[in-house]
Structure 1
Amino acid sequence: MGTLLLLIMLAFEIAFSIYCIATKQNHKKMKNWIRIAIFLAFVLLTLSSVFLWSFRWVLAAILFFILAVKGTVSLIRNRTNSPKYKTSKIVWKSMIMILAFSFALAPAIVFPQHKSPKVTGNYDVATAAYTYIDKNRIEEFTDKRKNRFVDVEFWYPKTGDGTYPLLVFSHGGTGIKSSNTSTYAELASHGYVVVSIDHPYHSFYTRSDDGTVATINSDYNREINNMNNGVYSNEELYGLIQKWMKLRTDDMNFVIDTILEKAKSDNNPIYQHIDTEKMGVFGHSMGGAASVWLGRERDDIDAVVNIDAPFFSELAYKKERDDFAASSKAYKTPLFNIYSDDVWRQLESNSLYAANKLDNKHFKEAYTTHFQGAKHLSLTDLPLFSPILANYLQGGKAGIDPYYCIETENKLILDFFDNELKGIGHFSPERTY
């Protein structure tokens, strides 16, 4: 929608400039009426929900409003002496307006309007956000010596009156807690309480209850980029993995323990809707690795979904050959792996995925699915929210329809948790979608 509107505005601006040059007149009065008409049309299209009002339209609305006000004032003043016609002035003004329209409509182009993936459950879904303060940990990323804080958001059945399994999500290496919002909504609509965690300074951006904003830590971001560029030795990388996973799993353990404690004493309906005897964890990329890790550490985790991540918890570093190897311990928690092409093709060639290999006997009970044509971020909502940003971050466009990918993924995750936590249905995913 943003791209189409920009093309219309650019076509109008260029055509009107050509008309002025061809007739050697400014046609200022006509342009003023057109500016007013554009603003009114924008308002009507917004009120009729053709343009769904959001942050993406704010700059465009401001620009159209300013031009309409300027045009109205000019018409009211109704100067009889028109400014002298100059071709250079027409061209210069046209170039400025083209830049202004491009800037104002950039958010609508980068973050285009899109339909939401299907939510198929019977429950209406509500959300709530909180900040938990961990009094047992000091924030390592700042010099303020404050306690570690963790921002969380819940998706839960608004109209439900029973108790529902708890599902805890961890985002990717530089992601945000809303990365898989469509997944949370689908699960909540079928009777789950889903809580997604922002890992401050690991997440791209998070805002706490008190307005505190934490952006990604520059040192951590550099570590991630260096890992992706092959800068570190395997021994150095193994040390970083342990550091990253400790922070992630400490956050997840803290959130889970906090929620379980609140379920005993807090009258907030969200906590009272949680069945503390049934719990699953899931995550994308580094969050998936942390989820697998937690599935080994905690006895109260009943099911794990790993979305496109290596089993960091199952890796050992072999110094004598400077490489990674799979551990020799059986993994007993029910596990479902979902892979994109980006990870699928590394399962046999990259030793970071040594434990993920399909012939690993310690994971013989695990389910595994591969989305053919999908890239790493195809397994999040980002290709819908911002195709341009997703393509840039993952190095190209995926060869799979984004709606098919995320809606199929959401259904599979729902079916897996239904089978493992509620004992309903029969889970038998295809190897490839």
Structure 2
Amino acid sequence: MIDFIAGPNLSLCELLAATGAVTLVAARWLPAAARPYAAVAASALLAVSTAVLAVTGIRWQLLPVLAGAALALPFALSPALRPLLGRLPGRRLGRRPGEVRRVQPAVLPRPRGGRVRRWLAVAGSAGCLALIATGPVAAWAFPVPQFPEPSGPFAVGTRVVQWTDAARPETFTPDPDDRRTVVVQLWYPARPVPSGAPRARYLGRTEQEARTVRDALAGTAGLPGFLLDGATRARSRAVCDAPVADGGGRFPLVLFSPGSGGVRTQNTAWAEELASHGYAVAALDHPYDSAAVVLDDGRTIRSATASTGDRDADEVLAADWTAIRAADLGFVLDRLEGLDRGEYPGDPLTGRLDTGRTAVAGHSMGGAAALQAARHDARFAAALDLDGFPHGP
């Protein structure tokens, strides 16, 4: 469950590049007097917009647009080059001492009429336009996510923390000394931030982390990672490490567990909306269950959960994984209570979390974990299960 809204399919520069490419193809069919001017103008527009995109980053969706333009370019520019070449002065070439001859300037041959030539031009133009059109279609199918503006009175800050449960062994590894580690992203009410303040990335703290998570998510769907490149470019509405809001009292807590193979940021818009209304939200990455979890030391832990195809065996596995997630949720609440008590000196959220009003939520298997956590831990005053089938006791 990923809750974002799709933004414009093409940026302004991408739209200008596509317009230039289409104009290059169309120039072939304009009146003869207008062809050179249209071709030169379209070429200039395409060159400038492509140069800007080369600096800001060219999305893969624009490659067919540029390919179609490259195919059309020589045919579009040839009418514009003929008059220029026709005005070139002749050259003098010596054949032997004392003898010269004047060579007429090179002139591109004019295409001769004919039904076959015309139909070839029609087919070529149609092919170029079809190639160019795949760019906007791909941009529509794989957009850069745009997140809705939160409706609450608070700005939203976010940060990522990593906690290790020294009392709980990591059951996904054979190392007896390995302990369960979770990565948690917090969203909270923040002070007003300048309009130009950099927004948090959608899929990770850094571009590299975002690409790692993108590739893992794409892999679960059997897709190459570059198709989801828009997700790595996306920015949410929250600001990293923004100062905590002065007003609003103590913030009620909501803990969130994503679906199987999901990641902590999958419900970013939902978390930001709650934070804008005075809640603190903590979303978990569950190592060996989430698609990819990047730890502080740079290690990446990928999902190690997979169904067997046997219904009874899969139910046993699902119950085990749900129990691990529920324990993760309880552990994170322990840490948040400690944070509120001041166990992490200097933390800006100390004294601002109302841990006595805590809800737990989740999607799919995360919803099942939320139900189990609330059933076994009375500190969770409410539970929200988003499309999750209960597993385990």
Q: Decide: shared fold, TM above 0.5.
A: yes
After the TM superposition, which residues 104-183 of structure 1 pair with which residues of structure 2 at under 5 Å, given as runs? 106-107=138-139, 109-111=141-143, 114=146, 116=148, 119-135=150-166, 136-138=168-170, 140=172, 146-159=178-191, 160-161=245-246, 162-183=249-270
SS at match of 1:120: coil
**1:194 alignment partner in structure 2:** 281
- Quote the residue 2:45 is aligned against: 37
User: Where does the alignment leave 5 or more consecutive residues of structure 1 unmatched?
Assistant: 47-53, 315-433
Distance 2:356 2:293 in 1: 30
1: CA distance, partners of 2:161 / 2:139: 28
Structure with greater contact order relative to length (CA < 8 Å, sep ≥ 6): 2
Q: How does 1:20-419 map to 2 (within 5 A)?
A: 20=28, 31=39, 33-38=41-46, 40=48, 58-59=59-60, 80=85, 95=127, 99=131, 102=134, 106-107=138-139, 109-111=141-143, 114=146, 116=148, 119-135=150-166, 136-138=168-170, 140=172, 146-159=178-191, 160-161=245-246, 162-217=249-304, 220=305, 222-223=306-307, 231-233=309-311, 235-264=312-341, 265-266=343-344, 267-313=346-392
Change in Cα spacing, 1:183 to 1:10, as seen in structure 2 (3 Å) is closer
Cα distance per residue 1:196-218 (max 9 Å; x no partner): 1111232233433344334433x
Residue type of the alignment partner of 1:173: S
AA aligned to 2:155 is D
Deviation of the 1:289 alpha carbon: 0.8
The 1-side partners of 2:36 and 2:369 are apart by 62
Distance of aligned partners of 1:39 and 1:290 in 2 relative to their CA distance in 1, 3 Å threshold: farther
CA distance in structure 2 between the aligned counterparts of 1:127 and 1:194, rounded to whole angstroms:
9
Q: What is the TM-score with the length of structure 1 in the denominator?
A: 0.53
TM-score (norm 2): 0.57
Task: Calculate the aligned-residue CA RMSD, in Å.
Answer: 4.8
Shift of 1:114: 4.6
The answer as to whether partners of 1:168 and 1:282 remain within 8 angstroms in 2 is yes
The count of residues paired between Structure 1 and Structure 2 equals 290
**Alignment partners' CA distance in 1, 2:152 and 2:315:** 42
State the structure with more CA Rg.
2
More helix by percentage: 1
Deviation at 1:180, TM superposition (A): 1.7
Residue pair 1:281, 1:305 contacting (<8 A) in 2 also: yes
Q: Distance in 1 between matches of 2:123 and 2:36?
A: 14
Deviations 1:90-131 (A, max 9, x none): 977985785577368735532255561x62322211111122
CA gap of 1:138–1:92, structure 2 versus 1, over 3 A, is: farther
Partner in structure 1 of residue 9 of structure 2: 2
Percentage identity across paired residues of the two chains: 23
**Structure 1 pair 243–115 and aligned structure 2 pair: CA distance change class (3 A):** closer
Unaligned runs of 5+ in 2: 1-7, 86-106, 112-116, 192-244
**Residue aligned with 2:349, SS:** helix
